[in-house]
Amino acid sequence: MTFWIVCSGIVLVAVFLATVRAIAGPTVSDRLVAVDALTTITVALMVILGFIYGREIYLDVALVYAVLAFMGVLIVARYMEGGL
Amino acid sequence: MTAGNVSKYVYTAIILFLLWIVLTSTFFWEEILAGLVLSAMVAAMGYSLFTDKGLGNFSPKRLAYFLVYIPVFLWDVIKANLDVAYRVLSPKMPIKPGIVEIHTDLKSDIAKLGLANSITLTPGTLTLDIDDDRLFIHWIYVRTTDIKEASEEIGGKFERYMKVIFE
Amino acid sequence: MNFYTVLEYIGMFLVFVGALFLFLGALGIFRLPDVYNRLQAGTKATTLGAFGAIIGIGLMRPEWLPKAILIAVFILMTNPISSHALARASYRRGIKLWDRSVVDRYGPYLREKEEKEGKR
């Protein structure tokens, strides 16, 4: 159990750092980069949570979230470029 | 060089069916049957967009190169991450960023996509834009601005694999 | 020590390394000076971090392995694309490179292209 607490702690610090950048980032792009990294971290966290709770359904949630996050980031990037 | 419609259709159906097996991860015959029917239907709708080469993608030479490419690529990704770790952790941040231009001989779109993705995940480089055979690369530690040298150093290794796998 | 125990230890190792790289990626996003450098660190480190963690979980639960590999490969294929889209969008939006960057070949190319399209 200690192992999982250590891993979750490390990932939690990562989430914190990326969130600080998402709030502080001087430009829109900085915030988006941070959010993009956060989505990847979230996918990994969902899979880890699925293992800890012993529920396979979390893997499907992670897969769908990965697809949606990818499309979301692409759409926002196109929108920023001005060619939606 | 495009393949016939039948070959494209069969290739698409096979890939979709494999995806179905992985996603359901069960081996009841009802599930398998439903997967077969659905992948046959979906392949009929989308085969012309899905692939250019059809069954040609399964040729032994391509598969062999692909299998060799996976460990080469993963090793490079690990090196890239150690590189990032070094640059992020060292207090002085040894970076010297810039955007360089490289050229590629690859023709097909999918091969260029593979090359650009490989470049992004390997040490210190990020693909910014592609225009025909010109790639613009953001390099975290610029060693050379010469187009030829940069092409060889950044993309040369992957280009050789991509040429066989995707063209 | 049977086969599954060994797999479990390998899995734990991979999950730990993955968490470490996720942390490094976030630290890179926090520390590096401009958007493009942040993207570099963010993409590479978080991609390998997520890859390691997900494959590690797959090894600890072998019946989840196919789906775990599917998610990991999906992340490996799509993360570079989204980072490329973000980088290009930022550049075309006029976000400057870091002031200590040494070379920029993309700006001249864009101006050249605009001139060509203007003449047409």
For every residue of A16-74, DSSP letters joined together read HHHHHHHHH-SSHHHHHHHHHHHHHHHHHHHHHHHHHHT-THHHHHHHHHHHHHHHHHH
pLDDT at B96: 80
Please provide the average confidence, as pLDDT, over all residues in chain B: 83
Q: Assign B37 a pLDDT band (cuts: 50, 70, 90).
A: very high
Alpha-carbon distance C5 to nearest alpha carbon in chain B (angstroms): 23
User: How do residues C53-94 score in pLDDT, each as one tens digit?
Assistant: 999 999 998 888 888 999 999 998 899 999 888 888 888 887
pLDDT value of position C119: 60
- Taking Cα atoms as reference points, which of C18, C21, C20 lies closest to residue C71? C18
Q: On the CB side of B146, how many CA atoms lie within 13 Å of its CA?
A: 5
Residue A82, pLDDT score? 76
User: How many residue pairs bridge chain B and chain C with CB atoms within 8 Å of each other?
Assistant: 132
> Does residue A65 carry a pLDDT above 90?
yes
B117 chain-C contacts, CB cut-off 8 A = 77, 80-81
- H/E run at residue B137: strand B134-139
Q: What is the pLDDT of residue B38?
A: 92
Distance CA B120, CA A39 (A): 18
Average pLDDT of span C8-29: 90
pLDDT at B149 over 60: yes
C-alpha dihedral, C104 to C106 to C109 to C113, nearest 10°: -150
- Average pLDDT for residues B33-57, to the nearest whole number? 84
- At A6-21, the pLDDT tens digits run 988 999 999 999 999 8
pLDDT classification of A66: cutoffs 50, 70, 90: very high
ipTM of this predicted structure: 0.88
Residues of B in contact with C43 (CB under 8 A): 120-121, 126
Which residues of B are less than 8 Å from C86 in CB distance?
none
Average pLDDT, chain A: 88
Cβ distance of A51 and C57 shorter than 8 Å: yes
Q: Is B72 helix (H, G, I), strand (E, B) or coil?
A: helix
Q: Which residue has the higher pLDDT, C102 or B116?
A: B116
Q: In terms of pLDDT, which residue wins out, B43 or B157?
A: B43
Q: How confident is the model at residue B138 (pLDDT cuts 50, 70, 90)?
A: confident
Residue B137, strand partner residues: B100, B127
Q: What is the pLDDT of residue C120?
A: 53
Query: How many whole angstroms separate alpha carbon C23 and alpha carbon C19?
Result: 6
Question: For residue A84, what pLDDT is reported?
Answer: 61
Contact C35 A41 (CB under 8 A): no
* Yes or no, beta carbons of C92 and A7 under 8 Å apart: no
Beta carbons of B128 and C106 less than 8 Å apart: yes
Query: What whole-number distance in Å separates Cα of residue B95 and Cα of residue C33?
Result: 10
Q: In what order do the strands lie in the sheet with B125-131?
A: B98-103, B134-139, B125-131
Q: How many domains does chain A have?
A: 1
Which DSSP category does B100 fall into?
E
Q: CB-based contact (8 Å) between C23 and chain A?
A: yes
Per the CB < 8 Å rule, is A10 touching C85? no
Report residue C107: phi and psi, to 5°. Answer: -60, -55
Q: Do B97 and C34 touch (CB under 8 A)?
A: yes
Residue of A39, A5, A3 whose CA lies nearest to C14: A3
Task: Find the domain containing A62 and state its range.
Answer: 2-81
Question: How many angstroms away from the CA of C12 is the closest CA of chain A?
Answer: 8
Q: C117 or A51, which is more confident?
A: A51
Lowest mean pLDDT among B131-135, C10-14, C57-61: B131-135
CA distance B34 to B36: 5
